[in-house]
Structure 1
Amino acid sequence: MFNDPKIFTNTTQLAQQIELANGSTIQASGTGTVQIKLPHCILELSNCLLVKNLSYNLISLGAIMKLNYKILTQNNNTIFNGTFNSGNFEVTIEGNKALATITNHNNILTLHQTSRHPSPEYLGKMFPTLTTTNLQCPTCNLCKITKSPFKGAFPTPQRKLQFIHTDLFGPVETPSNLGYKYCLRVVDSYRSYVWTTFLKSKSETGFHIQKLIQRIENQCKEKIANLVSNNESEFKNHQLTTFFQDKGITHLTTAPYTPQQSPFTERGNWITITKARCLLSDSGLDKSFWAKAWFKRPPTYQHLQPFGCLCYYLNNQPQGKFSEKGSEGLFLGYEEGHRAYQILDRRTEPQITNDNPITINTAPPKDNHPKSPTNNLLDSNVSTAVPTNKKGDHYEWIPKEQPPANEIHGENTISNELENMEKHQVWSPTTIDNNIKPLSTTWVFKRKTDENGNLTKFKARLCVRGFHQKEGIDYDDVFSPTGRLTSLRLLFTLCHLNKFKIEQMDVKCAFLNGKADKDLYILRPDGYDSHQPHQYFILNGSLCGLKQSPRCWHLELKKALTDIGLTPSLTDPCLFFSKDQHKPMWLFIHVDDLIFGGSWNEEFKTKINHRFEMEDLGQIKYALGIRILQLQDYISLIQDKFIKNILEEFNLTDCRHTTSPLPGNSKSFKHLPSKSIDHPFNYRRAIGLLQYLVQCTRPDLAFATSFLSQFLEDPKDIHFNSVKHVLAYLKSTKHYDLRLGQNNLKHQQNHILGFTDSDWGGSEESKSFSASIIYYHGTLGWRSHKQKVVALSSAEAEYNAATEAIQDLLWLKHLLLETTNLIPKLTLFTDNQSTIAIASNHVYHHGTRHINFRLHFIQNLLENQELQITYLETNRMIADSLTKNNPYNKSIDHLKIIFSNNDLSSKEE
């Protein structure tokens, strides 16, 4: 009898009741032939029954012997003697031997304790030769009193990993000896298999669930379809929601205050606690060892020992030749991942791990039951399969066979991608020589969302494993330019000043349009027609993953845009413009995204559609994680959705309100007490996300992010708390938007303003921070960083900062001159009179002789009247907020000018 209809051939429908050994019946729905692949042949069984509700497949040994097959067993040990009669094996069991196995209650109780206090029913399933009906364990009677269980509310699973139940219990009033307070249990309801891990805090839940899911899927070679948990925040957060979406796992939750809906975890928690309670009570160990009283994996019986029993182990560091070689300890459990024992040394009381052979004292509890022979109690060579739990009656509210979400959409996206490959003639089948090593490929899946975070489509990309490429053989040049965000903000400003509509287009299958510059060969990809005889392909175009693919695509796109009539800028090769003053247009490229605005948008879209397969996204609303609003008076750039995702990822959506990026004591961390982070927090990722915010729309975070990035290698808890403070500030200010195209400062249209400042000696960690802001109808560029040279005075520090700011001013001037034919004037504001005096005075200064090269650079600009340096009071210097952590009442006026926004009051939402 078999339970899988897919393995049947020549199936005939059938309705037949089959009576089992316990008197119950099951329904057979068909009959047919099943072929079983053996190591050296194929076993064909006819007249097999299809029983879908059968937990295990059943094969008749008698039927196999009738087909002239022999049945061999390992170890050549005789378990029973019997005869083969009429297709059945008849075995006679001696009554006195059976009685001998049940008379010694003392040994059964010892086995019960050694097996971690299972119920009599499960002990009988583990060891069928025992009679455990009358087993009475005083420890269990004290520790396992409970109410009657509830039936579950989820349907009966039909395969492994279809339903995974998880729950967290704790905090335990007595932390374990290693500091654990929580226990996380994951249960596969199909086979009731349990994975367990221990946590020190609730915040570790998401990290450990991701690790467990990866390990479970690797072990079982199957994908998890559904995960069931309660509604607590440790399971319902952005980190796990994103992880479940990427893995294609459906997250189901129980109703509030109804834990009985998930009996696998709730009853499992009860089992875990009661077993630990029994083991601690039985062993007499302190309650702090509760985490060691539960195995993380079911060990075999041969090395099972009673928890907390006396043991002796080999001491690896004896004191002398005549000193004792062994030490006395208490047995705690087994080390996961390798064969070693966890032992508590009775003298020094540290927990140690020892892989040497140990001698366990397993003296049973004293009992007055009669003695009887026990040599036939157990044969260690016999193993028995334990059947699954009896299934309850469940209400089915989802399909029985529910594949993971990735599989549903993956098949469609893969077929679409392969069709695109054929359409673009990316490869050609070929044969290769033995000295050529083809590259392998893999599939990468992605979800695309809109400006509100809503899912728009699924994408699949075939990627070459380019890390196997060899320089000089498989590739030469790989450089491909990346556009500067300052150029993109300039495009927004110019289009708004000229009242041009800004639109966006996406190139479909961009990399497939690139032309291969080397003869590269790949293996036949997974999902490609397996009936094709060809195993190897030569690439005609570029594929994702190849080191030269970005360069090949950029060259192809550059040629197409040049043919249309656009010219790449020499200042930023990712910014294209029209030289025809009667048909102005500016276009910014980011890989396969085109952002453009001009007087001939429709004509451009028609021409580019003739060259590539495009997706017209219309007026731009969302790009690079930035939400873009084209209003009448200005263009607004905001990243509120991006900030919301960051807060959800780090579980800080309910954090407190704050008005400054850093806490008040963050001027120096050097002398403050701190310790290493003892919980999983991705400090590096948090800084990376903040840096991207700074580059796009949030100059107010520039100093805080640059300052905290100094501690990436070894962050302490004080740095972790400072990052959380920055994220709390983000929550309060996520409505901040950067406004371009409006003018809060009175200056002419062709005037670029620069603001520079330096905080010399302000922080012991940084010594000197410099900052600059470039303003042209709105804030276009900014920087804040630690100075790379040591300044000997505040004047020198300010002078170095001014030099860097002037470099940015000149870069923007050249870009404007090239793309608009405007010759803008440059004005630099500084709050240091010494800087102006040094730059304007040609007299030799003994204190500035070591900065003469920078001196000549600025003086030449002043002599040629290409630059003007003007003094600005410190309280009006907007760059001051990018060099230090200013309080809210001091920085708010600066931020209103930086963001060109008078409504920047903090909001707690």
Structure 2
Amino acid sequence: MVRCDGLCYARGTVTAPFRASHNNKKVKPDVKPKAATNFKKKGKGKAKGDCFVCGKSGHWAKDCPERKDRKSANMVISEGGGTSGYGKILPTVLSVFHSPDWWVDTGANIHVGRGSSLLMGNGSLAAVHGVGTIDLKFTSGNTVQLKNVQHVPSIKKNLVSGSLLCREGFRLVFESNKCVVSKYETFVGKGYDSGGLFRFALNDMCNNHNAVNHISENDESNVWHSRLCHVNFGCMTRLANMSLIPKFTLVKGSKCHTCVQSKQPRKPHKASEARNLAPLELVHSDLCEMNSVLTKGGKKYFMTLTDDCTRFCYVYLLKRKDEALHYFKIYKAEVENQLERKIKRLRSDRGREYFSNEFASFCEEFGIIHERTPPYLPQSNGVAERKNRTLAEIVNAMLDTTGLCKEWWGEAVLTACYVLNKIPMKHKKVTPFEEWERKKLNLSYLRTWGCLAKVNVPIAKKRKLGPNTVDCVFLGYAIHSVGYRFLIVNSGVPDMHVGTIFESRDAIFFENEFPMKHTPSTSSQETVMPHEHFAPIEHNDQTPKKNPEEDNIVDTRKSKRQRVAKSFGDDYIVYLVVTS
């Protein structure tokens, strides 16, 4: 094989110019070099010959202006044999060099490799970085798929073995300055003479792809990859080390198109760096639905507003999603007044409750930057999403422990948020409550949610003869008040009815007893009754007063037949007798 630059890896005879440049021997008289070759002996400098890129003389390939503009290889990734045209898989040996052209080399064949190297025509070795599959798209529109392409970065041209093309049924006809490729009397493509070698006429559209598919030492690894149901290459390497499958050399960056298409996961979301922000500089918000279960007050959603600096969280119960703006206004007015700061940024997802024109106008009016997460990427709002998950998990545990029905999830969410604000984060030694309120924390008043409590009867309703307490279930902590919230489950006081929620601080707790644990859940037993001492958060949803004892009175069955008064005659009869 003839390679003027001495970098061809095929065996064959070497021409005089090649020998002269490497063996430093004079040319015999009967051998005439080409006129274009300006040969000089060693020690007198090197003359410039033909360029291996454009075929012109006067400059080297590395200085060719055409090479600088076209650096990508003329190839595309094969997609599992689904090529058009003449896509038979060929065991063709060629090089992969960053050049847009591919050259026919009739002297190249399957060479003997030493390790990860190939034997060149001059006896030297060239490193092979991998073997792959490449599609050549001719200007005629036909595609030829080449397999077992040797990736040799040190070679200067992309070579196609002519002998292996002929072995696979292709016909190469060299005439004049043109090379015609056909198969079964059907035209495939052509090439033209350029610098002593025939260059294929390929489509420039495939210059945008520059990759080698299935990079491995040989095809046996691909076969075993398929046999093992497309397991990852790490598992295959462990099996090879255990001598269960043949050993193979894996090049970094190896990919299987089937695995990529079938197993491709989403890219991991990198955790953001620590933000040294002041309170209210960034607020995270989100809405969450509890499986469409309504609370006793008709609430369906809960809305969280979490400060990024302190992680202090507010929770509001909502009937509809469009109430988000109303509760955000309440939150803004309260926190800005208490902390004497302004909310600068609000981060939320792309829910419609945050995308309304009213919400956008309100943020613009007060100079609040509303940051929205990218579509289908809730990880960007991770603080709010994690808060929702934590609250939902705690609510499930609380309801399961106490035996209360699912309609009480609203009270459980409020209590869970109240407690979480008094628990420090893993990267801080201070609790959110202490950072937010700037007060010393005391947890001695906390009690088990849903436990039994004996609550003292208020003085106005207490009687001298009768019980002084009522049995209640602990429902949470009073908002902006020193006290607890209770649900009456058993009462001997006429003025305190079962199912009433009220607030009190005079109670004795039995934290190991849960009165609703083994009690069947019925609507009559858990009907919420308003009370004069209770100002519930879920306002305007009060159930009218109803005495459950009236439900136990069974009405007497009455007949629907029309009643007719019966007459048995007068009790006595008076006769008037006239006598003469």
Alignment TM class, shorter chain as reference: 0.3 to 0.5
Higher helix share: 1
What TM-score, normalized by structure 2, do the two folds share?
0.36
The structure that has the greater radius of gyration is 2
What TM-score, normalized by structure 1, do the two folds share?
0.23
